[in-house]
Chain A
Amino acid sequence: MLKEACYVCERELKHFIRMRVQIISSIVTPIVWLVFFGYSMNMMSSGLGGINILNVFIGGERSVFLYFLTSALNATPLQSLVIQNYLGISYLDFFYSGVIGVTVMFACVFSGLSIIWDKRFGFFNKLLVAPIPRLSIMLGKTMYATVRGLIQGVIILGFSFLIGARIRTGVVGVALALVFMLLLSLGFGAFSMSLGIKLADQEALFGIINMITLPLFISSGAFMPVDTMPGWLQVIAYGNPLTYLVDALRLCLLGGPYSALGLPFSLIDVAPRLMRDLIALSVFTGTFLIIGTLLFRGSVK
Chain B
Amino acid sequence: MPIIEVRDLRKVYNGSVAALKGISFDVEEGEIFGFLGPNGAGKTTTVHILCTLITPTGGLAKVCGFDVVKEPDKVRRKIGFVPQDISVDDDLTARENLELHAKLYHMPRSLREKRIEEMLELVGLQERADSLVKTFSGGMRRRLEIAEGLLHSPEVLFLDEPTIGLDPASRMTIWEQLRELNKEGVTVFLTTHYMDEADRLCDRVAIIDLGEIRAIGRPSELKEEVGGDVLILKTNNPDKLLEKLLSLPFVNSATSQDGTLRITVKSGEKAIPLIFEEARSLGVNIEAVSLSKPTLDDVFVRHTGKSLRDEKIDMIERFKQYMLMKRRRR
| Choice from B53, B79, B89, B106 contacting A123 with Cβ under 8 Å | B89
Residue B109 CB within 8 A of the other chain: no
Chain A residues in 8 Å Cβ range of B27: none
* B87 in contact with A131 (CB, 8 Å): no
Q: Do the beta carbons of B100 and A7 come within 8 Å of each other?
A: yes
- A4: B residues at CB distance < 8 A: 104
Interface centre among B51, B92, B100 (most CB of A within 10 A): B100
B interface footprint on A1-43 (CB within 8 Å = 1, 0 otherwise): 0001001001100110011000000000000000000000000
Q: Is residue B54 contacting chain A, with contact meaning CB distance below 8 A?
A: yes
Shortest distance between the CB of A12 and any CB in chain B (Å): 10
A232, CB-defined interface residue at 8 Å: no
Name the A residues within 8 Å of B53 (CB-CB): 125, 128-129
CB neighbours (8 Å) of A130 from chain B are: 76, 101, 104-105
A125 contacts which chain B residues (CB < 8 A)? 48, 53, 81, 83, 87
B83 touches A126 (CB 8 A): yes
Per the bound structure, the CA–CA distance linking A126 and B86 in Å amounts to: 10
Q: Which residue of A lies closest to B81 (CB)?
A: A129
| Nearest neighbor of A19 in chain B, beta-carbon distance | B330
A164 at the A/B interface (Cβ < 8 Å)?
no
B326 interfacial contact with A, CB 8 Å? yes
Check B91–A14 contact: CB distance below 8 A: yes
- Is B309 positioned at the interface, with any CB of A under 8 Å from its CB? no
- The answer to whether the Cβ of B239 comes within 8 Å of any Cβ in the partner chain is no
Contact with B along A115-136 (1 / 0, CB 8 A): 0010001110111111110000
90-112 of chain B: CB within 8 A of chain A: 90-92, 96, 100-101, 103-106
A129 with B52: in contact, given A7-B104, A117-B329, A122-B83 (CB under 8 Å)? yes
Question: Which residues on the A side are within 8 Å of B54 (C-beta)?
Answer: 301
Q: Using CB atoms, name the residue of chain B closest to A14.
A: B92
Find A121's partner among B73, B76, B103, B329 (CB 8 Å cutoff).
Answer: B329
Question: Is there contact, CB below 8 Å, between A15 and B85?
Answer: no
B55 at the interface (CB under 8 A from A): yes
Q: Is the CB of A129 within 8 A of B87?
A: no
Specify which chain B residues have a CB less than 8 angstroms from the CB of A121 in the assembled complex: 85, 87, 90, 326, 329
Q: Please tell me if the beta carbons of B103 and A129 are within 8 angstroms of each other in the complex.
A: no
Verify B104–A132 contact, CB threshold 8 A: yes
Choice from A18, A122, A129, A132 contacting B85 with Cβ under 8 Å:
A122
Closest Cβ neighbor of A121 among chain B residues? B87
Q: Is the interface of A mostly helix, strand, loop or mixed?
A: helix
- Does B77 lie at the interface of the complex (its beta carbon under 8 Å from any beta carbon of A)? yes
Closest to B74 in A: A131
Which residues of A lie under 8 Å from residue B329 when comparing CB positions? 117, 121
B101 contacts which chain A residues (CB < 8 A)?
A: 126, 130
Is there contact, CB below 8 Å, between A7 and B81?
no
- Once bound together, how far apart are the Cα atoms of A4 and B105, in whole Å? 9
Known: A121-B326, A131-B76. A126 touches B106 (CB 8 A): no
Residue of A nearest to B103 (CB): A7
CB-defined interface of B301-330 with A at 8 Å, one 1/0 digit per residue? 000000000000000000000000010011
Flag if A131 contacts B73 (CB, 8 Å). yes
List residues of chain A with CB within 8 A of the CB of B73.
131
Cα distance A129–B77 when bound, in Å? 9
Task: Report yes or no: B105 in contact with A131, Cβ–Cβ below 8 A.
Answer: yes
Given A131-B76, A301-B54, decide whether A126 and B87 contact each other with a Cβ distance below 8 A.
yes
Report whether A129 and B100 are in contact in the complex, using a CB–CB cutoff of 8 Å: no
What chain A residues lie within 8 Å of B89 (beta carbons)?
11, 123
Across the interface, do A129 and B51 meet the contact criterion of CB distance under 8 Å? yes
A294 to B89, CA, bound (A): 27
Closest residue of chain A to B85, judged by CB? A122
**Which residues of chain A are near B51, meaning CB under 8 Å?**
129
In angstroms, how far is the closest chain B Cβ from the Cβ of A71?
A: 54
B87 near A123 (CB under 8 angstroms)? yes
* CB of A299 to closest CB in B, whole Å: 12
Residues 52-83 of B contacting A (Cβ, < 8 Å):
52-55, 73, 76-77, 79, 81, 83
Report the Cα distance A19→B134, complex, angstroms. 13
Interface residues of A in 99-151 (CB under 8 A from B): 117, 121-123, 125-132
Interface residues of A in 212-232 (CB under 8 A from B): none
Residue of A nearest to B330 (CB): A19
Alpha-carbon separation in the docked complex, A123 to B87 (Å): 5
In the assembled complex, the CB of A10 is this many whole angstroms from the nearest CB of chain B, namely 8
B91 in contact with A129 (CB, 8 Å): no
Q: Which residue of B lies closest to A133 (CB)?
A: B73
A122 to B53, CA, bound (A): 12
The 17 listed contacts between A and B (C-beta, < 8 Å) are A7-B100, A11-B89, A14-B91, A18-B132, A19-B91, A117-B329, A121-B85, A121-B90, A122-B85, A122-B86, A125-B53, A125-B83, A126-B148, A128-B52, A129-B51, A129-B53, A131-B76
Q: Which residues of B contact A (CB under 8 A)?
A: 48, 51-55, 73, 76-77, 79, 81, 83, 85-87, 89-92, 96, 100-101, 103-106, 132, 148, 326, 329-330
Ranked 9 nearest A-B pairs via Cβ: A122-B87, A131-B76, A130-B104, A129-B81, A7-B103, A131-B77, A122-B85, A123-B87, A122-B83
